[in-house]
Amino acid sequence: MVSLGQLERAVMEVLWDREAPAAVRDVADALAAREPAYTTVMTVLDRLAKKGFVRRQRDGRAWRYEPENSREGYVAQLMLDALALTGDRDAAPTRFARSVSDPEAAVLSQALARARRSAPAAARPQQDPLPPVVVLVGLTLVSTPPSFRCGGFLRSVVVRLSMGAR
């Protein structure tokens, strides 16, 4: 995925925050604090459309723009792209798991559980392929509160990655 520049990201934030497609003037007005020229915003929106980040539709003589994907979808793709850059797909999620807070780990664990339940039966593993101790390479859990469930979180990440889930 192509990354976004600062102004492109600001334009996308405006579009993600709106509930309806926006004209160039709407976006330029929302970015008034940055003082971009109308033509600059128009050029950025045109480039975002060519990159596939926004779709546009005619509204009289003007174009209306809306995001092609959600903010969450964009961030998730960035994370997957970053994971693809690493040579060790097990080490990256392990390192990531060490850096998240307990509430973030709980959210990730719930999301993985939902994704696992909604996966087609053929894609689901018949049993946990690895015990948590094997998955937690280089991570020692001395005394972790039961609510954290780090082992289950990492096991789910490894299972999802081994399934080639995106």
The fold of the 6-67 domain, in CATH, is: Arc Repressor Mutant, subunit A (1.10.10)
Length of the chain: 166
With a CB cutoff of 8 Å and minimum separation 6, the contacts of 46 are none
Q: Which pLDDT score is estimated for 94?
A: 86
Q: Which pLDDT score is estimated for 164?
A: 44
**Domain residue limits, the chain:** 6-67, 86-162
Asked if residue 65 lies in contact with residue 43, where contact means CB atoms within 8 angstroms, the answer is no
For the chain of 166 residues, list the mean pLDDT of each consecutive stretch of 10.
Answer: 89 96 97 95 97 95 95 91 85 86 90 86 52 36 38 41 41
3-state secondary structure of 64: strand
Amino acid (one-letter) located at 160: R
pTM here? 0.64
Q: Which pLDDT score is estimated for 126?
A: 53
Q: Which pLDDT score is estimated for 82?
A: 87
Q: Which pLDDT score is estimated for 123?
A: 59
